[in-house]
């Protein structure tokens, strides 16, 4: 079933911004119900994640992941990874939504809950200036959907930099210039220095790598959203 989540300033109750429930949403993505070209976005997204997971598995087999977790005494790496998973989950939902919307855009009779159908109803009988305002509002709505993913991707880099600063503080806190001449104290200082440097380098590396992964996924989402926006506006102009 469908539930209304709001209404547009350009139309009455019939243009309520509604979205399908997830079971029906996934069913509409099933083979035979959509133009196969719409699956290109999903295929690119799946390929990106498969390649990234394969590289992650290779790093695990080399023992790099175990060494990284062993050196994560501040749990900054864990925090970075959890933030990345949240961003990837949100991006996956958005990719599925955009793919569904692209399918509806190519359909001769788009689903009443799709943005294509809503836009056609909103622009029906409107003049060019009104259609331009409606298109601008649609652009802002679609753009706002990408913002959380981009924000989380940027947060990964910031968390990596924070981990770098924390690691250097840990490394320098164990250095005592007064005990530099004491051979028995040098071992402890070196161990603290190495531990702090490990935290600094590991958090920087993990934050940068996961940022690249999520940013590429975000670029795919942006390209699909731009294609959706252009297609809806063009169809609206033809319909008008």
The whole-number pLDDT of residue 183 equals: 60
What DSSP letter does each residue of 44-57 carry, written as one string?
A: HHHHHHHHHHHHHH
Q: Return d(Cα 49, Cα 213) in angstroms, integer.
A: 8
Q: Return d(Cα 168, Cα 154) in angstroms, integer.
A: 22
Residue 12 domain-assigned (yes or no) = no
Q: pTM higher than 0.85 for the full model?
A: no
Name the phi and psi angles at 20, rounded to 5.
-70, 150
Max distance between CA atoms of the chain, in angstroms, equals 87
The whole-number pLDDT of residue 185 equals: 60
The low-confidence residues of the chain, meaning pLDDT below 70, are 1-38, 174-188, 240
Q: Which residue has the tokens 């993990």?
A: 206
CB 17 within 8 A of CB 112: no
The whole-number pLDDT of residue 69 equals: 82
pLDDT digits (tens, 9 = 90+) for 140-173: 999 888 999 999 999 999 999 999 998 888 877 7
CB 126 within 8 A of CB 145: no
Q: Which domain holds residue 219?
A: 37-239
Residues 6+ apart with CB under 8 A from 112: 2, 18
CB 96 within 8 A of CB 25: yes
The whole-number pLDDT of residue 197 equals: 84
CB 110 within 8 A of CB 117: yes
Number of domains in the chain: 1
Residue 7 domain-assigned (yes or no) = no
Residue 15 domain-assigned (yes or no) = no
Residue 224 domain-assigned (yes or no) = yes
CB 101 within 8 A of CB 118: no
Q: Is 172 exposed, middle or buried (0-12, 13-18, 19+ CB in 10 A)?
A: exposed
């Amino acid at each position: 079933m469908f539930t209304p989540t709001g209404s547009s300033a350009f139309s009455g109750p019939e243009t309520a911004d509604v979205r399908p429930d997830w079971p029906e949403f996934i069913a509409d993505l099933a083979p035979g119900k959509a133009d196969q070209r719409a699956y290109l976005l999903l295929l690119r997204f799946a390929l990106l994640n498969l390649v990234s997971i394969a590289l992650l598995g290779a790093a695990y087999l080399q023992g790099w992941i175990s060494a990284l977790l062993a050196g994560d005494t501040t749990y900054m790496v864990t925090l970075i990874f959890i933030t990345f998973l949240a961003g990837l989950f949100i991006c996956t939902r958005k990719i599925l939504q955009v793919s569904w919307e692209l399918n509806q855009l190519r359909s001769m009779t788009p689903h009443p809950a799709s943005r294509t159908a809503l836009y056609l109803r909103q622009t029906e009988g409107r003049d060019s200036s009104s259609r331009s305002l409606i298109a601008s509002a649609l652009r802002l709505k679609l753009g706002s959907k990408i913002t959380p993913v981009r924000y989380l991707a940027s947060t990964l880099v910031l968390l990596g930099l924070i981990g770098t600063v924390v690691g250097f503080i840990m490394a320098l806190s164990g250095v005592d210039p007064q005990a530099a001449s004491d051979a028995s104290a040098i071992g402890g200082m070196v161990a603290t220095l190495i531990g702090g440097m490990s935290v600094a380098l590991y958090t920087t590396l993990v934050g940068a790598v996961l940022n690249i992964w999520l940013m590429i996924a975000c670029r795919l989402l942006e390209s699909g959203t731009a294609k959706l926006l252009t297609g809806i506006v063009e169809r609206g102009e033809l319909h008008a």
